[in-house]
Amino acid sequence: MSCILLTGATGLIGSFILRELLGQGLSVAVLARGPKARERLERHLVRLEASGQVTVLEGDLGQVDLGLQPEARKWLANHCGRVLNCAGAVKFHADGTGEPYRTNLDGTRHLLHLCRQLKIQEFHHVSTAYVCGQRRGPVCQEELDEGQSFSNDYERSKFLSEVLVRQTEDIPVRNIYRPSVVLGEAATGFTPGFQGAYALLLAGWLKVQQGVGLDQFLSLLHLRREDSINLVTADWVAQAILHHLLRPAQGLHCFHLTHPRPTRWADLYQALLDCAPSAAFIGSDSLESNGLLEAYASYFCNHPEFVPGQYASDCPALDLAVLVRYPIERAFLVEEEQPVDQLVAQLPPCSYPVTLEIAGQGRWALGGAPDQPGLANAFCSGRTFHLLRQGRLSLEAALYSGQLLLEGEEFDKVRTCLAQVLQP
Ligand SMILES: NC(=O)c1ccc[n+]([C@@H]2O[C@H](COP(=O)([O-])OP(=O)(O)OC[C@H]3O[C@@H](n4cnc5c(N)ncnc54)[C@H](OP(=O)(O)O)[C@@H]3O)[C@@H](O)[C@H]2O)c1
C-alpha cells in the first residue's frame, strides 16, 4: 500500500511534484486525462530529467468514480495508501463546461469519495493562498472562512473544495497546501505550459512591446511602487509539499506555500523591460493586452500579506531575469506547437469570407476568393490562435477577454463560422 496517487501530473506544479516523488524513490500512480496522457507525461519527465516507474490510470476528476475502469479501482484498492490532488481548473469565470467547479469542487468530492470507499488514509490537497479572496491580511494559514468575498469563480471553487476536505473527518490525515502565484523552475525558468501566472507576464510583456514604460505601467494599473505580488517557483512548491507529505501527521493541517519576501510589481515589470532589446516580437495588438489586463485585474494589485508557513524560511530569492526570459524566448508557446502557417493551411473551409490576421505572422483568407477582401476581419496573436485550436480557450472567452478582435459585418455569422473553423 505504499503507492501514492497523484492527479494533475501533466500540469505545472504536478510535473515538479512527480519529479520529487520519483526522486525520493516513491511508487507513483497518476490519474491523467485522454489517451495521450502517458506521452505528455513522458515528455515532461525527459525535460525535467526525471525517471522512474509511473502507473498511468486514465480518468477524469469531473466524472463520477473519476471515470476509472473497475480494474483500475481494484488496483488502487490494493496498492494506494495516499492521494495527492494537484489537478485543478485555473479558469476564472464559470463557463458552459461547468469549469472551474467541475474539476475543483466536484473533482475533489469524487476523489474524497474514492478515498473513503477504498479506505485510503491520507488525502493531500493542493489549494491556493487566494482562498482568502479579497481579504488583504495578514492572512494566516489556519484561517479559511472569514466572511470574505471572492474575485472570481476560481477562488470560490477552491474555497469550497477546501471546505469539503475539512468536512471529511473520516479520512484521518488531511493536508491542504496553499501556494501563491506559481512560476516555473527557479534555476532555468522551465515550465511545461503557459497558463495561470503566465497570463500576467504575457499581459505585461505585450505592454512592453507597445513601448509602455515602468511609470506608465504602474499608473495604468493604479499600482504604487511598493506594491507587490506573491510569486513562488514550482520546484520550491513541490519540495515544500513533499517535506510536509513525508512527515507523520494526524488530522487536518493547512500550509501556506507563499514567499516571505513578495516581489514588487515594479521589479517584475523592469525584468520584462530588460528583455525587450533582445527578444522576438510576438504581436502586441492593444486590445489583447488591455483584455488580459482586464481579465486578470484582480491580481494586478497589492497582494494580501500571507503569514508564511514554517517551510518558507527555505524559500529562495527569485531570479526574475531567468523566470521571465523563459516564456519570452518561446513566445509563450509550448514546444510541440506547430508553426501557425502549417496549422492555418489545415483549417476546414469557412462558409463566410473572413480574413484572419495573426500578429507578426501573416494574413489569410478563410473563406471566399483568396484575392477578395473578407467581409469581416479577425485579429489575434499566435498564442491565442494556438489556444483556440487546442480547445484550451473558447471563442467566447477569447472575444470576452479581447484576445480575439473582430471587425466588419454580420458579427453573429462570423462568430459561428470562426467557432466551426478554429475550435477542435
Ligand atoms: N499555477 C498557479 O499559480 C497556482 C497557484 C496556486 C494554486 N494552484 C493550484 O495548483 C494546482 C495545479 O495548478 P497548475 O498551475 O499546475 O495547473 P495546470 O498547469 O493548468 O495543470 C492542471 C492539471 O490538472 C489536470 N486536470 C485539470 N482538470 C482535470 C480533470 N477534470 N481531471 C483530471 N485532471 C485534470 C490537468 O490535466 P490536462 O493536462 O489533461 O489538462 C493538468 O495536469 C491547481 O489545483 C491550482 O488551483 C496553482
Q: Is the peptide bond before 35 cis (omega within 30 degrees of 0)?
A: no
- Which atom of ligand 1 is closest in space to residue 87's alpha carbon? 24
State if residue 14 touches ligand 1 by the CB under 6 angstroms criterion.
yes
Give me the residue label for grid cell 490510470.
57
Average pLDDT in the 7-32 region?
95
The full DSSP string for 36-54 is THHHHHHHHHHHTT----E
Assign domain 3-184+230-257 to a CATH class. alpha beta
* Torsion over CA: 342, 347, 353, 354 (sign): negative
Determine the distance separating the centroid of ligand 1 and the alpha carbon of 316, expressed in angstroms.
23
For residues 110, 116, 121, 126, the Cα torsion angle rounded to the nearest 10 degrees is: 20
The residues that bridge with 30 in the sheet, in sequence order, are 6, 56
pLDDT exceeds 70 at position 334 = yes
Q: How much is the pLDDT for 280? A: 59
Listed ranges 180-184, 289-293, 363-367; the one with the highest mean pLDDT: 180-184
Pocket test of ligand 1: the residue of 16, 20, 28, 33 to mutate, having most ligand atoms within 8 Å of its CB, is 33
pLDDT single digits (tens) 91-112? 888 878 899 999 999 999 999 9
d(CA 48, CA 409): 48
Question: Of ligand 1's atoms, which has the minimum distance to the CA of residue 129?
Answer: 6
pLDDT of residue 287: 46
Atom of ligand 1 nearest to the CA of 13: 16
- Ranked by mean pLDDT, which of 270-274, 313-317, 384-388 comes out on top? 270-274
Mutate to test the pocket of ligand 1, among 17, 90, 141, 259 (most ligand atoms within 8 A of CB): 90
Q: Whose Cα sits closest to atom 23 in ligand 1?
A: 8
Provide the percentage of residues in the chain whose pLDDT is more than 70: 94
SS3 344: helix
Please tell me whether the overall predicted TM-score, pTM, comes out greater than 0.75 for this model.
Answer: yes
Q: What is the pLDDT of residues 392-401, one digit of tens each?
A: 678 888 888 7
Class of domain 340-422: alpha beta
pLDDT in tens, 76-86: 999 999 999 99
Task: From the CA of 103, give the closest atom in ligand 1.
Answer: 31
CA 194 to chain centre: 7
Distance 86 CA to ligand 1 centre (A): 6
Rounded Cα gap, residues 23 and 15, in angstroms: 12
| pLDDT tens sequence across 366-421 | 876 656 666 788 888 877 888 788 776 788 888 887 888 888 877 888 888 888 88
Residue type, 309: G
Ligand 1 atom closest to the Cα of residue 61 is 32
Q: Is the CB of 89 under 6 A from ligand 1?
A: yes
Axis-axis angle for helices 286-295, 197-209 (nearest 10): 150
pLDDT at 286: 46
Judge whether 164 and 109 are in contact, CB under 8 Å: yes
Boundaries of every domain in the chain? 3-184+230-257, 198-227+262-302+316-329, 340-422
Cβ of 88 closer than 6 Å to ligand 1, yes or no, is yes
Q: Report helix, strand or coil for 151.
A: coil
81 lines ligand 1 (CB under 6 A): no
Residue 345 and residue 365: Cα distance in Å, rounded? 11
Give yes or no for residue 17 having a pLDDT over 60: yes
CA 343 to chain centre: 24
Q: Please determine, for residue 284, whether its predicted confidence score (pLDDT) is greater than 60.
A: no
